[in-house]
Structure 1
């Protein structure tokens, strides 16, 4: 019989919170095992609006502390991974019926000054009749505002945290569910089961429940614990259409019902539009957009853009369930958009400790992880202290081993340098590699000096060398992993194409080796 794995911490959940905590804890010298029942970032953490932002609309709910925390994190994160994140300017057209312009200016002034800014320019008013971002909008929108936030490749952010954790000794087990736990006075005994139906026994001193939308059910059904908190599951859906504008700005639109929708340049050729906010009571493993959500997003887009879209123009859509935390007894009739996006850490020390993570958002994941490990470190007499605020995520060490502004502000120059160094590859491919892998491009292209060394081109722009890298270093095992989470090449390939079949065959062959 296989000996059990022994560790300080067993983390259940391979989304952004679980991966972030694994990275922080492993970096402090704690032994970590993380299990995820599916692929890393396969649910909520890859279904975001792809933004690193303070949450401008949260000011309406007077959540100044959350906004300030997120604004501080915004710049920390941009420095930590300049390859998968970048600054983004947002245009807010002023629509009749909205708050008066002076009130919006006041809110943007507050947004600019709640936290220190070094990387991002402040807000200002603009004339949409003359500004570049005004040309795709309908004639009736003549005035607007522009402000700054950031864009992130959300799924890759999870992957980089998992890589960082693994490099510091964490054991990352994907497609491995935690099916049972037994609590003792001083340890947890857990049974994990992988896709091959093999069982893995783990003994851990502490259990962390970072199961996202499943956190409450895992705590209740598997751990048999209570927290005094409940999760309100909110479905957020997005649509992708052929690009509606050809400039680098994004848009933020406010619907008359108070909800916010973004329109963001996406993957060179597309526009990403979202999100919705709908209470969800269905199967959290099978979340998808419905026709009413598609119509809602199309109608809102058509309210602003000259180029009308319809459901038939949607080339891709995705949905995720966001677990928003509420206290037991809170009003379930409160609008979904008004429920806090902040997080709560619930620690139960009645026997072997269990820490449950409720809520959270991508922008604050690092701070959440830091606070979580600060909370549990004394139980291990661990005095390492917080360390991630100035640490670089894998591939982000473009201009040194610690965070700096240069890597953010001069990333395009870095891309140009790589295109010269790897002139034997198409320039567009080198740019994609740079924005996905950063300095790890050297690991991907190690011992390769010409296009023949890249192996077969399995799909347009997808060479065998990249597939081998993703399988070896990034836990990719399926076409979905590669085409939709590690890359977004799936957007550029027809469904059911020969390329997908060829990729599936390639992965099967790699598995047999």
Structure 2
């Protein structure tokens, strides 16, 4: 078994948004950082979200004011550091006469507008559904009033990958397909035993502090020899989504209230589709095998059809996805009421700190990372105190203004006139200012190599494998590019065959110094 020569300041188990966010922040403060993920980055909870950076309007009903305020503040911060993968989105909330009264909705939205220091996003407005275009997709004469408010849409998996990319650029070592099989501490140092899930090769890494960002597997990680008795418990809650063909022409999303007290979102998705979700149900199975159930699909269709003039049926569903949220178990009676706030548990056996993370949501990952490092500060040898730096430094490709994406698209088409508008737009929204690095010196479409369909080319695939830890076709079409809905099964199989022939697994090349 190979032991890595150095002792890292910090080792992190888990390559979701929390683990990668902590890695980025920690290495930026001068710590040496190692992160391992047993599968692909964002392959667990982080890529199966509703894809929103939002305050969480419904959490106000549960008096989660601290969480909502923090999330609202983070909403504009994240948009500012990643404007290529995060964009503003307006939500229409119809008033349902039999559910929450209009005064309560107005009060909630007033708080939503004011407790989080909104600066860039437009304020809430009242909508006459009988006259406004957002009323056209709804059942005629059933809903006459609505409120329109702001939140943001995010490419969730790319948010994770870009945090990992920036961490690696600053010197962190990121290992995917590397499972931590055993953890133990001795004389103030943690030793993590690992196995490469592709090759079977075994190795060990040592670190002075350890973060357990295992998400749904947080308790499982503790059971691999940590030698601590965890007081906190995780509550696994399944959230499923359905995708159907585009339901309406305008660019707004909807928030629909249900008779059971829950809400669902109906969101424009990937230009030609509509995303509907989510469910909330307790889950006790294997988190890696979670799937949307027929009952959940029926529930989402029925909930949407309570509002939409054209009913949604299970036969309309073109894709489903489901994830398991590792919520902190606060004893709530129903899954929908369980807190979305995050909780830390710090254990120090042998004066070797182990920080386990429970709960959290995508919107608050950056603040979670800051708080995690505050907890670990007495044990880390940070060369420079840079608390708060991640809220100002753009993520890779995000070094532009929040309104500059259209200009970047035009710039790409000028520099690479063979690109279609669709292709340039997709690259700009995925890679931002690094799209030109991907395209390099290409003078024609032929220079981009084999075309796999839906504007995915060999050059992009090679870039993703060399720079973003992509190993399989699934990594590329469902997480890095979100093209899975546009590629046929045959096209995805052809991509998989190409990777089997040409793909060589490697540590991503460094784009800005540092170590791989």
Does 2:349 align with 1:355?
Answer: no
Of 410, 414, 418, the match for 2:412: 418
RMSD: 1.3
Of 299, 312, 317, the match for 1:314: 317
- Aligned residues between the structures: 499
TM-score (norm 2): 0.95
Deviations 1:301-326 (A, max 9, x none): 11111111211111000000001102
* Alpha-carbon distance between aligned partners in 2 of 1:133 and 1:283, rounded to the nearest angstrom: 40
Which residue in 2 is equivalent to 1:374? 374
Which residue in 1 is equivalent to 2:509? none
Contact 1:12 1:34 survives alignment (8 Å): yes
CA shift for structure 1 position 96? 1.7
In the TM superposition, structure 1's runs of 4+ consecutive aligned residues that sit over 4 Å from their partners are: none
Of 237, 252, 267, the match for 1:234: 237
Of 423, 433, 438, the match for 1:439: 433
The 5 Å alignment of 1:379-458 reads: 379-382=379-382, 383-386=384-387, 387-398=389-400, 407-458=401-452
Deviations 1:397-456 (A, max 9, x none): 12xxxxxxxx21342233223223322211110000000000110110112121111011
* Alpha-carbon distance between aligned partners in 2 of 1:355 and 1:305, rounded to the nearest angstrom: 46
* Alpha-carbon distance between aligned partners in 2 of 1:272 and 1:25, rounded to the nearest angstrom: 35
Q: Give the 3-state SS of the residue equivalent to 2:250 in structure 1.
A: coil
* Alpha-carbon distance between aligned partners in 2 of 1:50 and 1:494, rounded to the nearest angstrom: 23
Which residue in 1 is equivalent to 2:454? 460
Contact 2:184 2:191 survives alignment (8 Å): yes
* Between 457-466 and 237-246, the greater mean CA deviation after superposition: 457-466
* Alpha-carbon distance between aligned partners in 1 of 2:127 and 2:176, rounded to the nearest angstrom: 48
Q: Give the 3-state SS of the residue equivalent to 1:304 in structure 2.
A: coil
Structure 2 gap ranges (5+): 506-516
The 5 Å alignment of 1:7-26 reads: 7-26=8-27
Deviations 1:271-323 (A, max 9, x none): 00000000001111101000000000000111111111211111000000001
Deviations 1:449-488 (A, max 9, x none): 2111101112231110000000000010101000100011
Does 2:158 align with 1:164?
Answer: no
Deviations 1:145-194 (A, max 9, x none): 10000000000000000000000111110010000112113101111101
* Alpha-carbon distance between aligned partners in 2 of 1:482 and 1:457, rounded to the nearest angstrom: 14
* Between 61-70 and 179-188, the greater mean CA deviation after superposition: 179-188
Which residue in 2 is equivalent to 1:187? 189
Contact 2:262 2:336 survives alignment (8 Å): yes
* Alpha-carbon distance between aligned partners in 2 of 1:278 and 1:40, rounded to the nearest angstrom: 25
Which residue in 1 is equivalent to 2:118? 117
* Alpha-carbon distance between aligned partners in 2 of 1:137 and 1:148, rounded to the nearest angstrom: 20
Contact 1:233 1:280 survives alignment (8 Å): yes
The 5 Å alignment of 1:268-283 reads: 268-283=271-286
Compared with structure 1, are the counterparts of its residues 109 and 411 closer, same or farther at alpha carbon in structure 2 (3 Å cutoff)?
Answer: same
Which residue in 1 is equivalent to 2:495? 503
Which residue in 2 is equivalent to 1:73? 74
TM-score (norm 1): 0.95
Which residue in 2 is equivalent to 1:485? 479
Which residue in 2 is equivalent to 1:136? 137
* Between 418-427 and 196-205, the greater mean CA deviation after superposition: 418-427
* Alpha-carbon distance between aligned partners in 1 of 2:104 and 2:500, rounded to the nearest angstrom: 58
The 5 Å alignment of 1:146-165 reads: 146-165=148-167
* Alpha-carbon distance between aligned partners in 2 of 1:88 and 1:414, rounded to the nearest angstrom: 20
Which residue in 1 is equivalent to 2:365? 365
Contact 1:220 1:226 survives alignment (8 Å): no
Which residue in 2 is equivalent to 1:335? 334
* Alpha-carbon distance between aligned partners in 1 of 2:342 and 2:435, rounded to the nearest angstrom: 35
Structure 1 gap ranges (5+): 399-406
